[in-house]
Each structure stands twice: as structure tokens, then as C-alpha cells.
């Protein structure tokens, strides 16, 4: 089998993993008898992988074979065996071929000793060999002769090309020896700026404390790339109070590029005395430095500093108070809500008020019970003077939830026009449907026409935006809003939204509204849509990707139905009953670029005869919205992809129908 081109690799598969001189002998005998290139190469590879020392002589002979593929395989095998004999065999080969030199360097490095060192020196010192190969030989010399490593590295780095520099810089990290860092650090100013930046990065990776003085000095270099490398490296080296102060002073100078790098490094810095200097300097000293170290308490997530930060409320410096509030926003637990509420209410500086509001909101959201989050804050705002309540309103929106919305609604119903308008604006920005009932209440009860109208519009927009509102809540809200306004256009808009419901009361409401001549057509359509909704969820079919059908209408924007963006793919919905269809939305979710090239929409009661195209449109990034004619009705909806977008995908996270 070893001599058969078709079976040699099967034989190797059985033999290569088995130890023993008898197998080595078998492979050597087969190599003598091999007559084809494929067989020779396979056997050479096995001898190299098994590191058969008796194979050096035949491999040396084959390394000069006229067939370059066989010769290269023999050189590689000699490199794997890595003995003095294999090194000598490689040294006898011409050094004009890169793979021969690479093999010689690898073996010399492994063999070591005087013979290995001589071989490496010969390559490193021969000017006719390319610079990168010579540098690789130097790297092995650094390991072979550690006493000379620092001097050689420093000398080579002064004139290294980019390719050579990469090898040498990696050696700074890898080569052992206590003298490396002091020697490289002392020579650092003599290197070109680009080399200095690379060396500084390597010193940071090496992580020795002896590098700190050299790296710290480089933070004042004229070249910005060198400064950035030095500042970054300091964050990875063993820290001390002096290093912390150096970085802090740079940060305190302003938002320069250096300051941004220094801020990241100071946050990473660790070592004896660093944590103490952060705490001490946050408490006393120059205001600008105190601000920096207070920021660091948050960056280092120093939760034990929360009492200290709360004590800064009485500090005479606004900058210190603001820095403390920023840190508390990240660190303080929900149990400190009352303390931060008092701070927020009492703050007089505009910037301090804004930061206090942010901290109060963040801390409130850390309270596990949603109802308890808003209770204390809502009570304080409602009891405050109008001016204070006005500036505190945004925190209710940040806290969110039903209790906060109800508090905002009570403020909206007050007779203070500025406060009530601001409260409705706050409710209009609610990030979930929990503000719906409160907005409807304001739309019904406010004594101000403008506030009532604003609440009505906001409630309607909320109904449009959130499709997850339970059907009975949707119906109740629409019914109340219809009674709260005489605006015909607005009422028609609400009846249109009623078509999303599926409860009995919604159908009854739509039926009653058909007696209103201004709403008759919309109410008739709404009733048809509700009946179809009550018949069950639409049955979905697609041309491909049946496994992902459930993703099309599951209410989640992170699940998708996906197919190639080629012509011919389609989506079909069966609504069980004929219904109106005015708009189709293809939402791409978190795959905004996976859009259709062009789609055509059919709506029909007969799948066999779908009739003419009712609407069409090109795909749009994120959401493709297609409006249909007012009189479009049918049991079936068909979406056909009619153009090919090469090398693309069509994804739909949510298919929305109105």
C-alpha cells in the first residue's frame, strides 16, 4: 500500500500514529523503493512528522532532487526532525531559496548550542540574504544568546524597515531577560517615531514595572502617535501613584486626543497605591483633578465610594457636585433614591439639576418593584412648586410605567398652563403603551382645549405605534377617544385603528358607528377587518423558508423570514374572510439592508384568478411601506418579488397589515 499512489495515504493514516522503530524502518524501506512523485512526497511527510532521525541521509539526498516539489517536502521534513545532522544537511543546500533558509533558521533555533548559534549568525550577517529573513534569524539569536539580546535588539531597531520592525517588536514581548526593558527603554529616544510607537506598545504588552519611567517620559513626545502609544502602554504596566497623577493631569487639561487615551488608561491602571490615590485625590486637592478622580470612581465601579460621593452634595464646587452625580448615576443602588431625590429638588445650578435628574432616573430604575420606582418621585413632584415640578417632569418619562404616567396625567390636569402642557409632552414621549390610559383621561377631562387636543393626538399616535396593546384595551381607548372629540378626520383615523381589534365589543362598536354618515364607510371596513381577525390568525404560505413562517408575524423584530433577493419569491396570507387592506409594511428589523428589489401586491377572493396588481413599490431600507387603494378588499394577500437584486437577501422581521 505504501508504494501504491492510490493507497499510500490510507496506509499512512494507519501507521503514522503508531510508535515504534519497526514502522520507521518500513517507511524508510518504502522510500527507497518509491518510484512516483506522489508516493515519495507522502513518505517524506510521514518521516518528517514522525521525526525519524535515521531519515536525515535519504532526505538530504531528496532535498537536492530535480523535482522541486519533492525537494521542498524533503527540506520541510528535515526542518521537523531538528537534529544537528538535519541542520548540517540544510546548511549544505544553497541559501537562495526562502524555504531552505526558513528551515535552517527553525532547526538552528531548536538545536541551539554553538552549532545552532553559528548557523543563525551566518544567516543574520550575510548581506546577500533579504532583510526580513536576516531579522527572523536575529530573533532566534536573541533566544539562543540572551546575554546579547538587549544590545542586538536596540541596535537593530534604530534602522529597521517596517517588515523587520514587526519581527523585532514581537521579540521585545517574547524574549526573556531582565536587561531587555532597560536597554530598549534607554535607546527609545534614538528610534524613529514610528518605531518608538511600536516599541512602546510592546513594552506595555511585556508588562514590566521597569518600563514605566521610559514610557512615562514618552508621554510628552512631540509626535502624537508616540504619545498615544505611551499613554496606552501606561494603562497595561504596573501602576503607582505617580503614574496615576500623570494621567490625571493630562485628562484635566481638556478633551484632547491625549486626554481621551489617558482616561482609558487611568481606568485600567492598577498597582500598589493606585486605588488609594484615586480616593484621596477625589476628596481633596485641585478641583480639576478631583473631577478626574471622581470620574474614575465610576469607571472603576467603586461601589464602596457611594457614601463619599453622596457627601459631595455639600461641596462648594459645582464641578465636583456634577462629577459626583455622574458617578452616582452609575454606582448608586436603588436604596439611595430618596437621597438623590432630595439633591435633585434642592439643586439650583442648571447643569447640576440636569445631572441630578439623570442620576435619580438611573437609581430609580434599579428598584426591582416597578410600582415602587415611581411612588416617591411622583409624590415629591406633585407636591413641589410648579417651577420645580416643571423641571422634574422628565424623570417621570425616564422611570416609565403606569404609576409615573398617572402622576404626569394629574399634573396635566392642573390649571397651570405651562406645567400641564409640559406634562402632556412628557406623556407623548412615553416609550411603552403604559401611558395610554393616562393620555385618554387627559383628553377627556382637561379644561384646556389645547391640552385636551394634544393628549388626544398623542393617545392616537400611541395606538398607531404599539400593536401589542390587548384588543379589549385598544377598543376601550378608541371608544373613549371617539367620545372626546368631534374632529371628523381624527375620528375616522380612530375607526381605522379599530380594525386591528378582535374582541366582541370592538365589533359591536364598529357596527354602531355605521349609523354615523361621516364614519359609515370606515366603520364598515373596520367591522370586516374585526370579523377576519376573530376568525383566527392569518394562514401564511411562502415560496421558500417554510421553517421560518412563524417569524413573519410573531411581534419580534429580532426573528426573521429570509430568502434570496431573486425574482419569483412570494408571501401569501389567508385571512379566512374577506377584509379591507389599506397598507402593507415589510419591516426588516435588525437586518435593515436585506430589502426586496421590487414587490407587487395582489388582493383577491380567488387565488386561481388574483386579478390585477393592486399596488407595487421598491424596497426601502429598514421598512418598506406600500399603501393600497381605498377600496381594496379580499380574503387573500399575495406579495410577489418581481426583480432580482444580485448577491442579496430579502428579510422580513414583521409583516404588518392594516
By percentage, how much of the chain surpasses pLDDT 90?
79
Between 105 and 349, where is the model more confident?
A: 349
Between the alpha carbon of residue 67 and those of residues 62, 64, 337, 453, the distances in Å are: 9, 8, 81, 90
What value does the mean pLDDT take over residues 448-473?
96
Query: Does residue 610 share a domain with residue 527?
Result: no
Tally of domains within the chain: 2
In angstroms, the CA 249 to CA 286 distance is: 10
Could you tell me if residue 571 is inside a domain? yes
pLDDT for 95? 82
Q: Would you say residue 124 has pLDDT above 90?
A: no
Confidence of residue 514 (pLDDT cuts 50, 70, 90): very high
What pLDDT, on the 0 to 100 scale, is given for residue 440? 97
CATH code, 612: 2.60.120.260
Last residue of a domain, one of 504, 534, 564: 534
State yes or no: pLDDT of 352 exceeds 90.
Answer: yes
- pLDDT tier at 283, thresholds 50, 70, 90: very high
Phi and psi angles of residue 565, each rounded to the nearest 5 degrees, phi first: -85, 50
567-617 pLDDT, tens digit each: 999 999 999 999 999 999 999 999 999 999 999 999 999 999 999 999 999
> What is the distance of C-alpha 647 from the center of its chain?
25
Q: What is the pLDDT of residue 316?
A: 95
On whether both 502 and 579 belong to a single domain, the answer is no
> Residue 326: which of 290, 354, 348, 307 has the closest Cα?
354
- Does residue 133 lie in a domain region? no
Are 529 and 636 part of one and the same domain? no
Whether residue 571 is found in the same domain as residue 604: yes
- State the pLDDT confidence band at 658, using cuts at 50, 70 and 90: very high
Q: List residues bridging with 652 in a β-sheet.
A: 561
Residue 194 lies in a domain: no
> Binning pLDDT at 50, 70 and 90, where does residue 525 land?
very high
| CA separation for the pair 146, 123 (Å, rounded) | 18
3-state secondary structure of 534: helix
Q: Give the domain range for residue 637.
A: 539-657
Calculate mean pLDDT across residues 507-523. Answer: 96
Of 242 and 112, the one with more pLDDT: 242
Of residues 394 and 142, the one with the higher pLDDT is 394
Residue range 132-160: average pLDDT? 86
Average pLDDT (233-240) is 96
Whether pLDDT at 164 is above 90: no
Contacts of 238 (CB under 8 A, 6+ apart): 207, 208, 209, 212, 270, 271
What was the pLDDT predicted at 632? 95
- Asked, for residue 100, whether it belongs to a domain, the answer is no
In the chain, pLDDT over 70 holds for what percent of residues? 100
Answer with the one of 501, 519, 534 that is the final residue of a domain. Answer: 534
Question: Do 638 and 565 belong together in one domain?
Answer: yes
Q: Name the pLDDT band for 144 (thresholds 50, 70, 90).
A: confident
- The mean pLDDT of the chain is 93
E strand or H helix that includes residue 637: strand 633-641
C-alpha gyration radius of the chain? 38
Q: Is residue 214 part of a domain?
A: no
Please give the average per-residue pLDDT across 627-646, as a whole number. 94
* 296 domain-assigned: no
Q: How far is Cα 207 from Cα 271, in angstroms, rounded to an integer? A: 12
Q: Domain boundary residue among 534, 563, 589? A: 534
pLDDT of residue 462: 96
Task: Write down the H helix ranges in 162-284.
Answer: 162-174, 180-187, 193-206, 212-218, 224-234, 241-252, 257-268, 274-283
Lowest mean pLDDT among 9-23, 232-246, 424-438: 9-23
The whole-number pLDDT of residue 156 equals: 86
Half-sphere CA count of 223, side-chain side, radius 13 A? 14
Give residue-wise pLDDT tens across range 196-236: 999 999 999 999 999 999 999 999 999 999 999 999 999 99
pLDDT score for 98: 86
Give the pLDDT mean for 484-494: 95
Q: Lowest-confidence range among 172-176, 291-295, 424-428, 491-495?
A: 172-176
Looking at the fold, whether 544 and 633 belong to one and the same domain comes out as: yes
Question: Which residue is it, cell 554553538?
Answer: 114
State the pTM of this model: 0.76
Cα–Cα distance for residue pair 562/571, rounded to 1 Å: 11
Q: For residue 370, what pLDDT is reported?
A: 85
Task: Please check whether residues 545 and 513 belong to one and the same domain.
Answer: no
pLDDT in tens, 307-333: 999 999 999 999 999 999 999 999 999
Amino acid at each position: 500500500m505504501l508504494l501504491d499512489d492510490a493507497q499510500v495515504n490510507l496506509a499512512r493514516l494507519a501507521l503514522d500514529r503508531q510508535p515504534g522503530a519497526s514502522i520507521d524502518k518500513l517507511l524508510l524501506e518504502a522510500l527507497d523503493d518509491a518510484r512516483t512523485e506522489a508516493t515519495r512526497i507522502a513518505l517524506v511527510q510521514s518521516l518528517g512528522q514522525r521525526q525519524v532521525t535515521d531519515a536525515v541521509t535519504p532526505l538530504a539526498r531528496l532535498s537536492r532532487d530535480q523535482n522541486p516539489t519533492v525537494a521542498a517536502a524533503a527540506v520541510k521534513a528535515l526542518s521537523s526532525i531538528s537534529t544537528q545532522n538535519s541542520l548540517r544537511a540544510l546548511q549544505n543546500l544553497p541559501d537562495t531559496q526562502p524555504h531552505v533558509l526558513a528551515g535552517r533558521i527553525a532547526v538552528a533555533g531548536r538545536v541551539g548550542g554553538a552549532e545552532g548559534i553559528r548557523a543563525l549568525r551566518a544567516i543574520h550577517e550575510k548581506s546577500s540574504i533579504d532583510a526580513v529573513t536576516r531579522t527572523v534569524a536575529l530573533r532566534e539569536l536573541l533566544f539562543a544568546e540572551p546575554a546579547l539580546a538587549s544590545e542586538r535588539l536596540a541596535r537593530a531597531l534604530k534602522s529597521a524597515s517596517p517588515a523587520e520592525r514587526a519581527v523585532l517588536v514581537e521579540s521585545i514581548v517574547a524574549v526573556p531577560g531582565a536587561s531587555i526593558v532597560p536597554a530598549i527603554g534607554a535607546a527609545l529616544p534614538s528610534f524613529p517615531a514610528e518605531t518608538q510607537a511600536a516599541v512602546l506598545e510592546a513594552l506595555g504588552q511585556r508588562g514590566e514595572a521597569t518600563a514605566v519611567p521610559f514610557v512615562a517620559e514618552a508621554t510628552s513626545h512631540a509626535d502624537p502617535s508616540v504619545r498615544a502609544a505611551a499613554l496606552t502602554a501606561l494603562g497595561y504596566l504596573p501602576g503607582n501613584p505617580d503614574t496615576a497623577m500623570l494621567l490625571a493631569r493630562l485628562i484635566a487639561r481638556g478633551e484632547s486626543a491625549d486626554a481621551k487615551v489617558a482616561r482609558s488608561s487611568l481606568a485600567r491602571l492598577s498597582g500598589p497605591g493606585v486605588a488609594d490615590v484615586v480616593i484621596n485625590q477625589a476628596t481633596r486637592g485641585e478641583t480639576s483633578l478631583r473631577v478626574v478622580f471622581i470620574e474614575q470612581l465610576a469607571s472603576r465601579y467603586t461601589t464602596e465610594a457611594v457614601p463619599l460621593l453622596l457627601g459631595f452634595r455639600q461641596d462648594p464646587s459645582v464641578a465636583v457636585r456634577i462629577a459626583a452625580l455622574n458617578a452616582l448615576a452609575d454606582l448608586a443602588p436603588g436604596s439611595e433614591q430618596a437621597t438623590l431625590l432630595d439633591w435633585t429638588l434642592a439643586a439650583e445650578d442648571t447643569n447640576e439639576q440636569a445631572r441630578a435628574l439623570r442620576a435619580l432616573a438611573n437609581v430609580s430604575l434599579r428598584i426591582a418593584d416597578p410600582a415602587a420606582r415611581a411612588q416617591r418621585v411622583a409624590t415629591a413632584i406633585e407636591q413641589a412648586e410648579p417651577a420645580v415640578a416643571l423641571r422634574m417632569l422628565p424623570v417621570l418619562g425616564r422611570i416609565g410605567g403606569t404609576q409615573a404616567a398617572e402622576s404626569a396625567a394629574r399634573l396635566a390636569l392642573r390649571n397651570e398652563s405651562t406645567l400641564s402642557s409640559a406634562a402632556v409632552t412628557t406623556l407623548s414621549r412615553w416609550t411603552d403603551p403604559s401611558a395610554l390610559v393616562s393620555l385618554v383621561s387627559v383628553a377627556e377631562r382637561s379644561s384646556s382645549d389645547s391640552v385636551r387636543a394634544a393628549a388626544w393626538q398623542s393617545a392616537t399616535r400611541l395606538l398607531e405605534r404599539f400593536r401589542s396593546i390587548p384588543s379589549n384595551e385598544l377598543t376601550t381607548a378608541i371608544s373613549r377617544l371617539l367620545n372626546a372629540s368631534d374632529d371628523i378626520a381624527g375620528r375616522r383615523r380612530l375607526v381605522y385603528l379599530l380594525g386591528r381589534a378582535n374582541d366582541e365589543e370592538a365589533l359591536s362598536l364598529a357596527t354602531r358607528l355605521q349609523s354615523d354618515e361621516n364614519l359609515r364607510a370606515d366603520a364598515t371596513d373596520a367591522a370586516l377587518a374585526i370579523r377576519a381577525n376573530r376568525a383566527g390568525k392569518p394562514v401564511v404560505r411562502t415560496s421558500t423558508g417554510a421553517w421560518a413562517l412563524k417569524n413573519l408575524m410573531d411581534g419580534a423584530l429580532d426573528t426573521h423570514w429570509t430568502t434570496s433577493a431573486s425574482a419569483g419569491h412570494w408571501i401569501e396570507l389567508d385571512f379566512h374572510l374577506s377584509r379591507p387592506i389599506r397598507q402593507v409594511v415589510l419591516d426588516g428589523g435588525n437586518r435593515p439592508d436585506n430589502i426586496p428589489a421590487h414587490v407587487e401586491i395582489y388582493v383577491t377572493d380567488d387565488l386561481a384568478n388574483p386579478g390585477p396588481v393592486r399596488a407595487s413599490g421598491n424596497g426601502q431600507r429598514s421598512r418598506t411601506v406600500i399603501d393600497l387603494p381605498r377600496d381594496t378588499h379580499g380574503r387573500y394577500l399575495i406579495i410577489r418579488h418581481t426583480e432580482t437584486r444580485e448577491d442579496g437577501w430579502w428579510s422580513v422581521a414583521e409583516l404588518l397589515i392594516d
